[in-house]
């Protein structure tokens, strides 16, 4: 019934219009420790797969006792928009000696066919580089918390066969 109420309210985001999809998104969120309304706002279904927005991934990890807040940093390096320009995300787990640092550069975005792509890659290139570096760092450092969830910002770049190959 709750899924029906959400669907009828018009509050459900695109991709979660059906009560069944709403219930599945809520269940996925509950398994990650997200409340039902947070799940509706932070889960995107892309190519039939539930994903998390990058800010939600970070929030889940930061809420964990395993997250070492003293290590976390997000920066940029290089001259803006040259191939070597990159976003850097550094995270750490309490009790682990080495932090996890991941980078995503303009050159990598070009190689993946993302750079200059219509939509967020044209409108917010810095943010998209940041989200890709963040997703990689968080997924590598906190697989137990994210349970294999891919970042929505990352998943939109994949066509369905690419997502299947990545699984």
pLDDT level of residue 158 (50, 70, 90 thresholds)? low
pLDDT level of residue 159 (50, 70, 90 thresholds)? low
* pLDDT above 90 as % of the chain: 75
* Contact by Cβ (8 Å): 39, 20: no
Lowest mean pLDDT among 38-52, 64-78, 148-162: 148-162
The C-alpha atoms of residue 88 and residue 127 are separated, in whole angstroms, by 11
* pLDDT above 70 as % of the chain: 93
**What tokens does 106 get?**
């303009």
The per-residue pLDDT for 167 is 34
* Contact by Cβ (8 Å): 57, 146: yes
In tens, the pLDDT along 136-153 reads 999 999 999 999 899 988
- The closest alpha carbon to 44, from 30, 61, 62, 56, belongs to 56
pLDDT level of residue 91 (50, 70, 90 thresholds)? very high
Are β-strands 86-91 and 73-77 bridged in parallel, bridged antiparallel, or unpaired?
A: antiparallel
Question: What's the chain's average pLDDT?
Answer: 90
């Amino acid at each position: 019934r709750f899924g029906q109420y959400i669907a009828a309210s018009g509050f459900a985001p695109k991709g979660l219009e059906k009560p069944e999809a709403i219930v599945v998104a809520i269940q996925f969120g509950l398994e990650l420790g997200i409340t039902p309304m947070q799940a509706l706002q932070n889960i995107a279904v892309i190519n039939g797969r539930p994903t998390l927005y990058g800010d939600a991934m970070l929030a889940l990890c930061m809420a964990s006792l395993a997250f070492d807040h003293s290590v976390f940093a997000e920066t940029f390096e290089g001259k803006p928009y040259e191939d070597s320009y990159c976003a850097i995300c550094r995270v750490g787990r309490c009790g682990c000696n080495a932090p996890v640092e991941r980078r995503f550069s303009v050159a990598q975005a070009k190689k993946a066919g993302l750079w200059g792509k219509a939509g967020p890659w044209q409108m917010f290139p810095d943010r998209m580089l940041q989200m890709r570096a963040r997703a990689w760092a968080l997924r590598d450092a906190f697989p137990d918390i994210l349970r294999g969830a891919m970042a929505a910002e990352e998943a939109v770049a994949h066509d369905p066969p690419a997502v299947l190959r990545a699984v």
